[in-house]
Chains A and B, each alone.
Chain A
Amino acid sequence: MEISSDKDYIYTSSELDYQEGQLIEEVKASSRESIQDPDAWLDEELKRNILLTSVDWVLDWARRSSLWTAICFPACCAFEFIAAEGPRFDMSRFGMEILRASPRQADLMITAGTLTWKMAPNVRRIYNQMPDPKWVIAMGACGISGGIFRSSYNVVPGYNKIVPVDVYVPGCPPRPEALIYAVQMLQKKIAKAKVVPDLSELPNPLRKGKK
């Protein structure tokens, strides 16, 4: 369809020119002074940014806010963990979602599933490879006690026979909400941890012969 050249527009071209000129004049009139340097507040840094707290609190805060999970899921509870990771439950809201393929970059082990004795040395090896500080959540009935396979000839009756467990999540399998709640409980536990040793316990180079 052709546009007819005799169409009436709202503004004539001379009106548009006039409006453009007015806008430029306005900007020019309001721009005589230079805008203040946005870094001017830097001088106030000391005034604004000092917060008094304990080293323990800061370290615990850093530790509990970035729990990275090692990929070590021997059995079916892993699917509930995957559901908890997924968009419906979305653990990443709480900063606990990053999975690490290497245990050397992880600090949380979620033991999702039945553990057989044949797998047990490998799980302990993964745990030993994780750097300190590290925590373990026993997920599901099998992780707690061996579950329905407890009396079987090849099942470890509970992960706490292999690695130290911090939080137990019951269920077969536990719902993703339960798992998220468990991680929150672990975060509360980490928040109470005492990281910095007492000064009197530190080796003092000035006092020779004494601790």
Chain B
Amino acid sequence: MTVAISAKEIISQLNTKFPGAIEEAGADSVLVKSDSLLAVAEYLKTAEGFKFEYLNYITAVDYYSYFEVVYQITSLESNRSVVLKARSYTRDNPTVPSVTGLWQGADFQEREIYDLMGITFEGHPNLKRIFLWDGFPGYPLRKDFNQ
């Protein structure tokens, strides 16, 4: 069974490596500023001692005042996992950098989030709707979606 890593264990290393990049460190998750998400994710994927090479899932949450994109990544080497989060504070065109360059498996899930939640992933190679059809009005998983 994969052990969830405590955010405290990696937060000090991240803080020294990327000063100011961490918005918040919860009990079991690390909230990263979205403009430094890619650098932090790449560090967590490649750095010795972390090697979080496997992306379990990406999902997104609508908190009305902001959108939060959630990443769970796992290190198959040390059998541990950690949850990364990034926020976008605008509703008009929320944008988060794409992690498809790091984890190929992010491709379809980012498209799904784009489709249903309306979050744009910058740098995604093929960002278009995956479930709904072209021309569907609105993003149905947003809290303010109304038919």
A: residues with CB less than 8 A from B are: 117-118, 151, 153-154
Are the CB atoms of B133 and A153 closer together than 8 Å?
Answer: no
CA distance A3 to B147 in the complex (A): 93
Report B-chain residues with C-beta under 8 Å of the C-beta of A151: 147
A154 closest partner in B (C-beta): B132
A118 closest partner in B (C-beta): B133
Question: 9 new A-B pairs (CB below 8 Å) besides A153-B140, A153-B145?
Answer: A117-B133, A118-B131, A118-B132, A118-B133, A151-B147, A153-B147, A154-B131, A154-B132, A154-B140
SS of B interface (majority): loop
B: residues with CB less than 8 A from A are: 131-133, 140, 145, 147
CA distance A151 to B132 in the complex (A): 16
Write the nearest CB–CB distance from A136 to chain B, whole angstroms: 24
Report B-chain residues with C-beta under 8 Å of the C-beta of A117: 133
Report B-chain residues with C-beta under 8 Å of the C-beta of A118: 131-133
Write the nearest CB–CB distance from A137 to chain B, whole angstroms: 27
A151 closest partner in B (C-beta): B147
Write the nearest CB–CB distance from B136 to chain A, whole angstroms: 8
Report A-chain residues with C-beta under 8 Å of the C-beta of B131: 118, 154
A116 closest partner in B (C-beta): B131
Write the nearest CB–CB distance from B138 to chain A, whole angstroms: 8
Q: List 11 A-B contacts (CB under 8 A).
A: A117-B133, A118-B131, A118-B132, A118-B133, A151-B147, A153-B140, A153-B145, A153-B147, A154-B131, A154-B132, A154-B140
A153 closest partner in B (C-beta): B140
CA distance A118 to B140 in the complex (A): 15
Report B-chain residues with C-beta under 8 Å of the C-beta of A153: 140, 145, 147
Write the nearest CB–CB distance from A161 to chain B, whole angstroms: 16
Write the nearest CB–CB distance from B109 to chain A, whole angstroms: 19
Write the nearest CB–CB distance from A21 to chain B, whole angstroms: 87
Residue among A118, A151, A153, A154 facing the most chain B CB atoms (10 A cut-off): A153
B141 closest partner in A (C-beta): A153
Write the nearest CB–CB distance from B112 to chain A, whole angstroms: 14
Report A-chain residues with C-beta under 8 Å of the C-beta of B147: 151, 153
CA distance A154 to B133 in the complex (A): 10
CA distance A115 to B142 in the complex (A): 23
Write the nearest CB–CB distance from A150 to chain B, whole angstroms: 12
